[in-house]
């Protein structure tokens, strides 16, 4: 709980709150990567699209690891 927080039943730990806030970004990306080709009748997306999506998800998880490490 932060220094400006008040005691409440609805407070959640910061790490869980941060992960919950970041999760929709890469979940939506992965959902679109798999549903868009079917919707548009494309056999599959180009390889660079998959590479960029993998980089985004890896960087999002690396950011999570960095910010939740005991050193910070």
How do residues 13-60 score in pLDDT, each as one tens digit? 777 887 788 888 888 888 988 898 888 898 888 999 889 988 888 877
How far apart are alpha carbons 21 and 13 in whole angstroms?
Answer: 12
d(CA 38, CA 32): 10
Task: State the DSSP string of 7-66.
Answer: --TT---HHHHHHHHHHHHHHHHHHHHHHHHHHHT-S---HHHHHHHHHHHHHHHHHHHH
CA distance linking residue 45 with residue 34, whole number of Å: 9
pTM for the whole structure = 0.59
């Amino acid at each position: 709980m932060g220094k400006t927080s008040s005691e409440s039943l609805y407070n959640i730990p910061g790490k869980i709150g941060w992960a919950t806030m970041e999760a929709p970004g890469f979940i939506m990306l992965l959902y679109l990567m798999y549903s868009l080709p079917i919707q548009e009748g494309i056999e599959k997306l180009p390889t660079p699209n998959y590479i960029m999506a993998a980089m985004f998800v890896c960087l999002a998880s690396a950011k999570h690891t960095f910010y939740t490490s005991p050193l910070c």
